[in-house]
Amino acid sequence: TLPSASAHDEKGPIVIGHRGASAYRPEHTLAAYELAARMGADFIEPDLVPTKDGKLVARHENEIGGTTDVSAKPQFADRKKTKTIDGVAITGWFTEDFTLAELKTLRAKERIPAIRPRNTLYDGRFEVPTLQEVIDLAKRLSRELDREIGIYPETKHPTYFQSIGLALEPKLVDVLNRNGLNRRTAKVYVQSFEVANLKQLNRSLRVPIVQLINGSGAPYDFVAAGDKRTYADLVTPAGLREIRSYADGVGLAKDVIIPRDANGFLKAPTTVVKDAHKVGLVVHSWTFRNENSFLPADFRSSTDPAAYGRAFEEYDLFFKQGVDG
C-alpha cells in the first residue's frame, strides 16, 4: 500500500523505465522510451540538461561525446572543451554549448558498446529528444496502450546550470505548465540528487517530488556551502523527516535498502524503507538490471521466475522489502 504522500493511485510497485529500455536501444532516445512503455513500464525516465538556447533535452550527462556522434562532426571540433562540473574536470562536448537546432543535427549512439554491442545497430538513427517530445510520446503511448504512461524527469547538475545562467528549474516548471502537467494528480514525479534544487522546485511544482539518495558516502549536495553532510545522514529518521518537508518520496540506491559485503553478497536489509514510510514518504529504488542482463520483454506477465534471470530475482527481493517502485 502506498503511504499517504503519494498523489497517484498506483497499487504498486510501479515500474520506471530507467533511461528507457536502455538494454535494447541507445538510452534516452524516443525509441528507448517507447520500448520501455511497450514492455510494461508505468513511467519513462528522462534525465534533463539544457541547450544553449534554454531548451531541456534528455541526456544523462551534458557531456555528449560518448552518447552522440558529435566527435565525428568537423564543424563542431572547436566546441570541445574542458570544464569542471560538480568538482570533476571533464573534457568533451557539452549540450549547453549547442543550440537545439545544432543538437538536432547529431544522432545518438550506444554509451557502452562493449557491454551492449547489439545496441550499436541503432547508432546514428535517433535524435536527442527534447522534454516536450518525451511528453508528446508519453501522451501518444497512453492513447495507444490504453493506460497512462507517466514521466519521471530528473534534473541533472542543477547547481552547475544555475551558476552558468541556464537554471533548469523554471524551464521544467514552464514545460510542465504548458502541458497541463503541473498538478498534483498528473502522472509525473520530479527527482534530483540535489537537495537545494528540490527545495526550490517544491515552491513552484505541484507534482510529487523525489529526493534521490546515492549509496555512497558522497556529500549530498555537490555544491553545499559549509554543509558537510552525506547521503547517509539523509536516511536517518531525522534526515527522512527533513526530506518530508519538501518532498513526497525518496529514490534509494539499492545498496541503501539491502547493502552488500565486499564480495558483492547481499547483507541484511536496513530499516530505511520502514523508516521512510513511517514519515509518509513513498520509496522508489534503483536500478534493477546489470548492464549486461535483460528483463524478458514479457516480464510483467510471465509466471516463471526462472525466466527472469538475476535482475528480476533482485527486483522481487527488493519489492519484498515493501518498496513502492
Binding footprint of Ca ion on the chain (CB under 5 A): 47, 154
* Residue 212 interacts with which of ligand G3P, Ca ion, none, CB < 5 to 8 Å by class: ligand G3P
In this chain, which residue has its C-beta nearest to Ca ion? 154
In this chain, which residue has its C-beta nearest to ligand G3P? 286
Give long-range contacts, CB 8 A cutoff, 24+ apart: 162-166: 163/223, 164/96, 166/50, 166/52, 166/54, 166/96
Interatomic CA distance for residues 325 and 319, integer angstroms: 8
Are the C-beta atoms of 211 and 154 separated by less than 8 Å?
no
Interatomic CA distance for residues 206 and 88, integer angstroms: 33
Closest distance to ligand G3P from the beta carbon of 149 (Å):
16
* Residue 150 interacts with which of ligand G3P, Ca ion, none, CB < 5 to 8 Å by class: none
Task: Tell me, by CB under 6 A, how many residues bind ligand G3P.
Answer: 9
Give the max Cα distance, the chain. Answer: 56
Phi/psi for 252 (5° steps) reads -95, 130
Is 251 an interacting residue with respect to ligand G3P (CB under 6 A)? yes
Is 47 an interacting residue with respect to ligand G3P (CB under 6 A)? yes
Is 154 an interacting residue with respect to ligand G3P (CB under 6 A)? yes
Per-residue mark of binding to ligand G3P, 109-138 (x: CB under 6 A):
------------------------------
Interatomic CA distance for residues 289 and 309, integer angstroms: 10
Residues numbered 59 to 78 that lie near ligand G3P (CB under 6 A) are: 60
Euclidean distance between the first and final Cα of the chain, in Å?
11
Is 318 an interacting residue with respect to ligand G3P (CB under 6 A)? no
Is the CB of 208 or the CB of 251 nearer to ligand G3P?
251
Interatomic CA distance for residues 94 and 50, integer angstroms: 9
Q: Is 267 exposed, middle or buried (0-12, 13-18, 19+ CB in 10 A)?
A: exposed
- Give the type of residue at 141: L
Is 286 an interacting residue with respect to ligand G3P (CB under 6 A)? yes
Is the CB of 76 or the CB of 156 nearer to ligand G3P?
156
Is the CB of 102 or the CB of 110 nearer to ligand G3P?
110
Is the CB of 102 or the CB of 289 nearer to ligand G3P?
289
* Residue 194 interacts with which of Ca ion, ligand G3P, none, CB < 5 to 8 Å by class: none
Interatomic CA distance for residues 94 and 76, integer angstroms: 11
Closest distance to ligand G3P from the beta carbon of 143 (Å):
26
Interatomic CA distance for residues 20 and 297, integer angstroms: 13
Closest distance to Ca ion from the beta carbon of 261 (Å):
27
Closest distance to ligand G3P from the beta carbon of 240 (Å):
17
Q: To which residue does cell 526550490 refer?
A: 200
Angle (CA) 62 15 118, round 5°: 60
Interatomic CA distance for residues 314 and 322, integer angstroms: 13
Instruction: Please give the residue ranges that form the binding site for ligand G3P (CB under 6 A).
Output: 18, 45, 47, 60, 154, 191, 212, 251, 286
